[in-house]
Chain A
Amino acid sequence: MRAYRALLRKDLLLELRGRELVPAMLAFVLGALLLVRFGLGGETQAGGTRAATGLLWVAVVFTSMLALVRSFAQEREHGIWDGILSAPIDRAAIWAARSTATLAFLVVTQIVALPLFWLFFLQEGRAPSLWVLAGALLLADLGVAMLGSLLAGLASQVHAREVLLPVLFLPFAVPLVTVAVRVTVDTISPQTSGFGTLEGLGFLALYDTIFGLLGWALFEYVVED
């Protein structure tokens, strides 16, 4: 736990000081929303609720790629891996700290992006259930962060990492995004039942549990050279 806290503090401090990831993530997600909003020529409901929500989640996933591709960049570029890996710690703490930091960056991005999304695409519809929406976002973000950090650790060991990471990450993210879209639509659309929402949240929690366990168990081997 001591190692996890120290590594998380370091990750957050580096972002606070360098401001490398969060501004880029914000610029990307806001740019994507603006582009589609004005690309649709003011037809805010043109693709329907599901399409607009799908757009939000596609923007979230591609925004997360920005953070994940830069994940472990300092360790790689400055050869710091050798220092961290020679420390007497459970290497899963490195993954856990990076997952938590990525989760924090995603949440900050969404706190800014979600109101804009609502304004652009959904203000004429029904107000969503904020608690369900927040729960779905958190569960999905956690899945993205844990899976992404595991794969980023793997990709950091190879040369074509910028190509390899999206190729590995996106197929695994498909079920997560599909269910996240469904749950988000459920919170907005009046036709859906609460049971479907609970089922979706349950799936997201199961996904997080599986990739949490895999990340914890496998990261040691992922960074082994």
Chain B
Amino acid sequence: MSSPERAPAVVCEGLVRRFGERAALDGVSLAVAAGETLVLTGGNGAGKTTLLRVLATVLRPHAGTVSVAGHELPRSARAARPSIGYVGHEPLVYPDLTARENLELYAELHLAPPGSCDEALAMVGLERRARDRTADLSRGMRQRLALARAWLHGPALLLLDEPTAGLDAEGRERLAGMLARHGGAAVVATHEPEWFAGGRELRLEAGRVAG
């Protein structure tokens, strides 16, 4: 077996995840090499979000094998988590905390290095709004904050669910800059695959890899 440091970012073999009787993922197999960007496309309900949530270790796989950064899930999920930066459908931040307080909380949970909050806020252009309650930020700004939150501990794998949603032109530029600086692997679920032209596209349909 390869060491986690040199392992592929993601390997799935026959991954199944059900919600009740319905299989949201029905035998998905894929691999993402270190440094590669995989662009997941497909209609609503195709299984993109479920796949990202399994890879983010918040959902357990029901069958098949999954490994992230060389750590098998769910057995070694805790060891895999430092390698993961996850942007979900929601910004995953507390509305009553300020932007900075939210980042400081996640920095503590992820053991991020000192100064990472300032760097992340600057990267997404939220320095001036750092003291504002997250609830008072616009949809696009909350999305930028979500990107900063996923970035601040320097993960080797970014899992991005519709990262362009709500972003204006400047926000998209910031996202492009973030991905350019990242250097690690990324799995991106999107309805705008043209925006991630450098990545390898994979289409999901009804919980299966299409084609």
B96 touches A83 (CB 8 A): no
In the assembled complex, the CB of B156 is this many whole angstroms from the nearest CB of chain A, namely 13
Q: Known A10-B94, A78-B95, A225-B58; judge A83-B86 contact (CB<8 A).
A: yes
A20 (CB) vs chain B CBs: closest residue: B96
Task: List A51-79 residues whose CB lies under 8 Å from chain B.
Answer: 74, 78-79
Chain A residues within an 8 Å CB radius of B86: 82-83, 86
Q: Mark B95-112, 1 if CB is under 8 A from A, else 0.
A: 111000100111011110
B59 (CB) vs chain A CBs: closest residue: A225
Is A41 engaged at the interface, CB distance under 8 Å to the other chain?
no
Is B93 engaged at the interface, CB distance under 8 Å to the other chain?
yes
Find the residue from B97, B108, B149 having the highest chain A CB count within 10 A: B108
B109 touches A80 (CB 8 A): no
Is A126 engaged at the interface, CB distance under 8 Å to the other chain?
no
Is B92 engaged at the interface, CB distance under 8 Å to the other chain?
yes
Chain A residues within an 8 Å CB radius of B95: 74, 78
Is A17 engaged at the interface, CB distance under 8 Å to the other chain?
yes
A87 touches B109 (CB 8 A): yes
B101 touches A82 (CB 8 A): no
Q: Mark B45-70, 1 if CB is under 8 A from A, else 0.
A: 00000000100111110000000000
Task: List A1-50 residues whose CB lies under 8 Å from chain B.
Answer: 2-3, 5-7, 9-10, 13-14, 17-18
Which DSSP category, helix, strand, loop or mixed, fits chain A's interface?
helix
Interface size of A by CB at 8 A reads: 27
Task: List B83-134 residues whose CB lies under 8 Å from chain A.
Answer: 84, 86, 88-90, 92-97, 101, 104-106, 108-111
Chain A residues within an 8 Å CB radius of B110: 87-88
User: Of A13, A82, A89, A225, which contacts B109 at CB under 8 A?
Assistant: A89
Chain B residues within an 8 Å CB radius of A224: 60
Q: Known A74-B94, A87-B106, A89-B109; judge A81-B101 contact (CB<8 A).
A: no
In the assembled complex, the Cα of A80 lies from the Cα of B146 at a distance in Å of: 11
Chain B residues within an 8 Å CB radius of A89: 109
Chain A residues within an 8 Å CB radius of B57: 85-86
Q: Known A86-B57, A86-B86, A88-B111; judge A18-B96 contact (CB<8 A).
A: yes
B96 touches A17 (CB 8 A): yes
Chain A residues within an 8 Å CB radius of B90: 78-80, 82
In the assembled complex, the Cα of A62 lies from the Cα of B175 at a distance in Å of: 48
Chain B residues within an 8 Å CB radius of A81: 58
In the assembled complex, the CB of A62 is this many whole angstroms from the nearest CB of chain B, namely 26
Is A108 engaged at the interface, CB distance under 8 Å to the other chain?
no
Chain A residues within an 8 Å CB radius of B78: 88, 90
Q: Mark A74-118, 1 if CB is under 8 A from B, else 0.
A: 100011111111111110000000000000000000000000000
B60 touches A86 (CB 8 A): no
In the assembled complex, the Cα of A214 lies from the Cα of B98 at a distance in Å of: 34
Chain B residues within an 8 Å CB radius of A13: 97, 101
B53 touches A82 (CB 8 A): yes
Find the residue from B59, B105, B111 having the highest chain A CB count within 10 A: B105
Q: Known A74-B94, A82-B53, A88-B111; judge A6-B105 contact (CB<8 A).
A: yes
In the assembled complex, the CB of B117 is this many whole angstroms from the nearest CB of chain A, namely 13
Q: Known A13-B101, A79-B89, A225-B60; judge A2-B108 contact (CB<8 A).
A: yes
In the assembled complex, the CB of A214 is this many whole angstroms from the nearest CB of chain B, namely 20
B95 (CB) vs chain A CBs: closest residue: A78
**What are 9 A-to-B residue pairs whose CB atoms are below 8 Å?**
A3-B109, A6-B109, A18-B96, A80-B90, A83-B88, A83-B93, A86-B86, A87-B109, A87-B110
Known pairs A2-B111, A7-B109 / 19 extra A-B pairs, C-beta < 8 Å: A3-B109, A10-B97, A78-B90, A78-B92, A78-B95, A82-B56, A82-B92, A83-B86, A83-B88, A83-B92, A83-B149, A85-B57, A86-B57, A86-B81, A87-B81, A87-B106, A88-B78, A88-B110, A224-B60
